[in-house]
Structure formats: C-alpha cells, structure tokens
Amino acid sequence: MISEPEPGDRQRIAFGLEYDGSRFRGFQRQRQRPTVQEVLEDALSIVADETVTVHCAGRTDTGVHAACQVIHIETSARRSERAWVLGVNSNLPGAVAVRWARFVDERFHARFSARGRYYRYRILNRWIRPGLEAGRVAWERRPLDAERMHEAAQRLVGEHDFSSFRALGCQARHARRHLHSIEVRRHGDEVVLDVAANAFLYHMVRNIAGTLIAVGCGEREPAWVGDVLAARDRTRAGVTAPPEGLCFMGVDYPEHPELPSRSADLAAFPRGRDLS
C-alpha cells in the first residue's frame, strides 16, 4: 500500500467512480457541457485547493454510463483516502459518485496501465417501451434470438482489425484490438451483451451491438458477422446502437492488484485467456 505523501511532495491518486451518462455530454471536457471530466476536475480542485487534471481509463460518449470508471490525478494536497472520497462527493452533482480513492506510485496511469476493459450493453426486448429503466437500457421491440446473437458474436473473439466496427470520428492510430470474450444472454425481457477487450475503438461496442441485433431479429445469418469483420468496411456492418444501453463496467490492472477497479458485476463476465 502506498502511504500518504510528505508535505510538499506531489502524489498520484487513483479514483474509481460511477455515473449516469444520460446527464452528460460524454466524459471528455469539451465545448458542449456538462461533461464528466469537467465536474470531476471542478470537485477535485476544490478539495485539493489547486487546479488538477483528470486522466481516465476510457472516455465514454454522450449517454454512456459507468459502473467503475478509473481516473488518476497528481496533486500536492495532503488528504486521507477517505477524505478524498467524502470531499469530492460533496462537491459532485448527484449523477456522479466517487466509490474509492487509492494512493498509487508514479508507474500507474489510468489509461496506459490498463490491460483489459469491460463493457455491458443492455437491450430491453419487448413491445412496450421502457419506463422505469428509460435512459438506462436500449429498446428493441422486435423479438431477438439471444442464442443466434451469441453464436454470431464468437466470430469476433481474438485479435482482429475492427475497422468495420470503427466510427468515422475515431482517432485511434490503428484498428487492431484483441477482443478477449463476448457473451450474449437473455434474462427475461432483457438481452445482455458482455464484452471484454484490451481496448476499444470509438463506437465499437455500439456498432457490434447494432450488428448483432440484425442477426437476433432474423435480418441476417450468424455467419454474416464474420464477413463484416473481414471486410474492414464500416458500411458493411449494422447501425450504431443507441448509447443508453451501454455501461463501462471496469478495468484490469494486473500490475496494480491493490486497486478495486472492477465492478462486482464483472464476476458474470467470461474471462479471456490472456489479458495482456
């Protein structure tokens, strides 16, 4: 465990947080407001009594939620881990909450130390639109065959060029990603996609979800997903599924096992054989 900093020393601190993405214009600070980064930096700066910059494990889009996003900051402020959590939460809007804080060494970086990231996509599959879960699930009125969707999804497992599932505005240097596992299952009226990869492209999970929905409702055969992947052409895939069904579930930091960086719900995720 990393101890509290000495007076005058700058200390790196990691935080885990959850947020309702329907209240924000995405994670990253930008001209359109509010963003998660904006409200976090404002709250953290108040507690630190100095300006701080937030670095995150994975930027989420407008409307996308997080169960355990991970960030880090550097500061010379001296506070206990508990004081950081209580102080920051008292200055955050209700749609964001810090779950934990940990002192980490300078080797840790919320983005570059991550070796695995997890997303969940929830689809309410009934003919009546959502009420209680509005803004938290996607809605598909056509009946979906989750088993067909799962079969189709297995064609995406492994290291591939995911250009067919990459949005036009993606700024990643290349489209190769290692998708460790993907599982599609039904729970009553919900169809749930759990996806684990070393990293994701812009809109990658939502484009995969839209493609699998086309299979699930019978528009396409499962083998089509493999053809889409091989084409490396975004126009060959399905539509981009809406953001409200997507939630960033957590991160793997093998070199920092002291971090509680994974949502408890991740126990349900199938694990890939290699998280490097």
Q: Which residue among the candidates 61, 145, 189, 265 is catalytic per the annotation?
A: 61
| Residues 265, 243: Cα–Cα separation, whole Å | 20
- Nearest by Cα to 210 from 248, 231, 241, 183: 241
61 counts as catalytic: yes
Please identify every residue annotated as catalytic: 61
